[in-house]
């Protein structure tokens, strides 16, 4: 599966790392990944959340949010939001071993990690700017919402909106207990090193191999 970034999105400085992990076993509870969650919570529990705004990676994602019309002091970039959550109440969410792996890596690297059920994706995903007639089925939302024009989104070949870049995923392609094959996408923006975005996808894949019995070819692509 190839992820493409179209020219109009590239002009915003969008780039991604992506890779596939196959034959995963999704589990609601997994004692081994629980240990990893506790380790990362311990690492960042005493961090002063106010210092995050001075982190260059956080700064880059916040700047990107402003550029696309999102106030990052109200809607936090996902890595920053996870770090703040740990600093505030000491705990990351527990969803399942696959999603938890992405949250561990995003907390560590501050890079947003998207995880998608490959068997629900038609063709190859592409990142484009919205036309304004698309609908998005957000995780945790009861009703679909219409997307404003010129918002970066990831869609499959059927036009299904998988993701609003770089912070919201859709229920149409999210990871469920029956998921077998996972597409990992790490989200890059101007000011974030490509090596960090590649590393974030790599670390996530390694955790899926270790804690979800996944099969991975060891390659992270960049687009």
pLDDT tens-place string over residues 23-51:
999 999 999 999 999 999 999 999 999 89
Residue 181 or 73, more confident: 181
Kind and range of the H or E element at 102? helix 97-109
Q: Cβ of 123: how many Cβ atoms within 10 Å?
A: 11
pLDDT of residue 213: 97
Residue 48 and residue 64: Cα distance in Å, rounded? 23
pLDDT tens-place string over residues 115-127:
999 999 999 999 9
For residue 18, what pLDDT band results from cuts at 50, 70 and 90? very high
Task: Give one DSSP letter per residue of 27-93, joined into a string.
Answer: -S--HHHHHHHHHHHHHHTT--GGGGGGSHHHHHHHHHHHHTT--TTTS--HHHHHHHHHHHHS---
Residue recorded with tokens 């690297």: 109
pLDDT tens-place string over residues 174-212:
999 999 999 999 999 999 999 999 999 999 999 999 999
pLDDT tens-place string over residues 93-149:
999 999 999 999 999 999 999 999 999 999 999 999 999 999 999 988 888 999 999
* 156 contacts: CB under 8 Å, gap ≥ 6: 121, 122, 123, 124, 125, 126, 162, 173
For residue 155, what pLDDT band results from cuts at 50, 70 and 90? very high
Helix axis angle, 78-89 to 97-109, nearest 10°: 90
Residue 32 and residue 129: Cα distance in Å, rounded? 40
Backbone angles phi, psi at 167, to 5 degrees: -140, -5
* 30 contacts: CB under 8 Å, gap ≥ 6: 96, 97, 100, 211, 212
pLDDT of residue 113: 97
pLDDT of residue 200: 98
pLDDT of residue 141: 85
Average pLDDT of the segment spanning 167-177: 94
For residue 90, what pLDDT band results from cuts at 50, 70 and 90? confident
Residue recorded with tokens 């970039």: 77
């Amino acid at each position: 599966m190839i992820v493409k970034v179209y020219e109009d999105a590239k002009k915003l400085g969008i780039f991604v790392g992506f890779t596939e992990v196959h034959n995963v076993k999704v589990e609601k509870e997994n004692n081994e990944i629980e240990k990893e969650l506790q380790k990362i919570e311990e690492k960042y529990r005493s961090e002063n959340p106010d210092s995050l705004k001075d982190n260059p990676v956080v700064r880059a994602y916040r700047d990107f949010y402003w550029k696309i019309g999102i106030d990052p002091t109200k809607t936090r970039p996902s890595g920053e939001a996870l770090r703040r959550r740990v600093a505030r109440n000491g705990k990351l969410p527990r969803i399942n071993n696959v999603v938890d792996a992405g949250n561990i890596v995003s907390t560590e690297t501050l890079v947003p990690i998207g995880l998608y059920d490959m068997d629900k994706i038609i063709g190859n995903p592409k990142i484009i700017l919205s036309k304004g007639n698309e609908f998005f089925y957000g995780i945790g939302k009861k009703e679909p919402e219409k997307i404003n024009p010129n918002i970066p989104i990831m869609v499959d070949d059927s036009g299904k909106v998988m993701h609003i870049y770089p912070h919201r995923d859709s229920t149409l392609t999210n990871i469920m207990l029956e998921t077998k094959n996972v597409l990992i996408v790490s989200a890059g923006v101007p000011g974030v090193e490509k090596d960090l975005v590649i590393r974030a996808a790599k670390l996530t894949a390694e955790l899926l191999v270790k804690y979800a019995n996944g099969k991975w070819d060891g390659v992270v692509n960049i687009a």
